[in-house]
Structure 1
Amino acid sequence: MNVNARLTTLLHALRCPVCAGEALAFEGEFEGVRRTGTLSCRQCSARYPLQDGIADFLPTGHPALTLAQLTGQWKLTATVYERLWRTRALSLLSGEAFPPAREIGLLLDALEPTFAEDGLWLDAACSTGYYGRPIAKRLLEQGRTASLVIGIDLSLAMLEEARAYANREGVAEAMLWLRADMSALPLAEATVRGIACGGSLNEYRDALAVLKEGRRVLQPEVGRYFVMNQLDPPLIVRAALSSMGGLTFFTRPRLDALFEAAGLHKVTAADYGKLAITVLKA
């Protein structure tokens, strides 16, 4: 019963990236964490494989990648990302003690209004699901049996690592992973209650296009969009990182202008050194 409710939530939200049709069907097994089969579009007959909880909405390949995005495709990067970098990142960027518990606390507090009802949440460019997993845990604790957290990333290696973490932590039941492009989300309009983006805004090839897509799928008023990203470093550091990795950095005024251009409105904003945390709504 609970599994079917989560599948229903998923199918009501999916949109075919080929024809934008919103009538997708599922054939296969969707029980517990054993989820394998095919998602197919009734409008254009496009088919998207689902294997062990990961659905591939880029079956013919992904868009051109920056160097930063390319390194995320490597199994080694996926393996060490959270263990060696992610849990220390905010302390390094902010210049103060910023442990994971503090970061996740801010995330869950920001999204708290969205947990009042069942629905869909999105971990945007999820990497190892660092944000999606605590969201799923909160939903399970609240008994949200028709709720689902979707983790989207271009990297299959990252999605596999995210799935492994979720299985170990016992939250995979409330999660599903999609290999997809954040600038062309396979989701219908106003279907997502909450979006969490942890650091990836600096890595997008077209940040404005991605934010506009988030605005499109976010539910008006009730929906919340939590964004954590790095602010502009010193010029010499910015030049080196941008040339090597295809990264983009923002000052706070430029960041705010980007949100406004995407049609998103600030709920709260706080900067800690070179770390920016912004909560937005549609």
Structure 2
Amino acid sequence: MRTQIVVGNWKMNNSISESIALAEAVAAGIADIPLNCEAGIAPAFPALGQVASAISRSPLQLAAQNCHFEDNGAYTGEVSTSMLKSAGCSWVILGHSERRQYFGEDNQVVNRKVKKALAAGLKVILCVGETLEERESGVTETIVNTQVREGLQGVDDVSRLVIAYEPVWAIGTGKTASKEQAEEVHASIRATLSELYGSQTAEGIRIQYGGSVKPSNASELFAMPNIDGGLIGGASLKPEDFIAILTACK
């Protein structure tokens, strides 16, 4: 049985003080709730250290939203895996569609980051997903599984890997893939993982859904056989909504 995992991706939101307040509110809200999932939050880089302190006595884990594929050097504006670990991170989100769309990250760049993060001992959430045009063209599974294959090229140990399926057309739009649509892609991803790593390993890899998950639809999404929790955007910025999504885990 796979333990579901829910992580809040705060993106480029909140000052340091606002991030601390949000983290403390979530931690307090789940203090007396038995969680059926792993739970994490991913603040912006400047707030990582302070948020780590704020959640140190809670079950919340700290994630970063990105990292660089080199250990150090003349890479102005970038952040290394060692910096993330020193700030208290145990997770890093890689290959998010916004990184691909706005910052030109292709599958090869994402692959380098995945390998660097895993080698550094971090746990990785690898994001994959199709655009609306790709879905309407009927190439969703081709696009998504190519992102999986190329993102994991040369990766042998996937014990610290989570895949997040996020249809680009459903991120921040209020649109959500139906539970059947999401399950279909999740099952396809698991089949690809089975080809790459064998069925037993593939059955143990968790695949999250992301794309306008909210309290009203979390339970039905998380109840699907191949959906193992969620990568939550906008709803994770509201403590009551994020806590409600956490409690929707099966």
Name the one with the larger strand percent. 1
Q: Which structure has more RCO (C-alpha within 8 Å, separation ≥ 6)?
A: 2
Q: Same-fold call, TM > 0.5?
A: no
Name the one with the larger helix percent. 2
TM-score, normalization by structure 2: 0.33
TM-score, normalization by structure 1: 0.30
